[in-house]
Amino acid sequence: MNSMRKRRDGGTGLLLGVVLSLVLAGCGGSESGDGAGQTAEAPPHPGEQTYNRYCFSCHAAGVAGAPKVGDPESWAPRIAKGPAALLQTTIAGIAPGMPARGLCSSCSDDQLAEAIDFMILRSQ
């Protein structure tokens, strides 16, 4: 009977050690400014989803002359034209490479403007 008790105690001790390790592992995060001890994560940019769904395929690789996101040199002349001009170009398209509305016929003008803003912020 004593040998059974030792096995149970050893198993309980091991289980307790694993649980304690998992609990303590969650205690090392950075704190948010509210003092609650929770990590603060920035909300996603409103244009990120549209970019990932419709713009990424060309603007990540520079397909057909599309300015690559993250390349300040290719974006500088476009950024200099201003966001309104970039939106109008996006709506109309640029022959022969960029189709009208960047292939997002269901996107509103505001969604396109947000995607443009997202690409600009990642490219300055």
Higher pLDDT, 57 or 12: 57
User: Residue for token digits 């034209």?
Assistant: 81
4-56 residue pLDDT tens: 444 444 554 444 344 334 333 444 444 444 445 566 788 999 999 999 999 99
| pLDDT at position 74 over 80 | yes
Specify if 71 maps to a domain.
yes
| Domains contained in the chain, number | 1
Is-cis flag, bond preceding 96, omega within 30? yes
Specify if 69 maps to a domain.
yes
The dihedral region occupied by 43, where left means phi > 0, alpha psi between -120 and 50, and beta the remainder, is: beta
* Domain assignment of residue 82, given as a range: 48-121
Query: Would you place residue 111 in the very low, low, confident or very high pLDDT band (cuts 50, 70, 90)?
Result: very high
The per-residue pLDDT for 42 is 87
Specify if 111 maps to a domain.
yes
Higher pLDDT, 34 or 93: 93
Report d(CA 121, CA 6) in Å as an integer: 62
Percent of the chain with pLDDT over 90: 63
Specify if 39 maps to a domain.
no
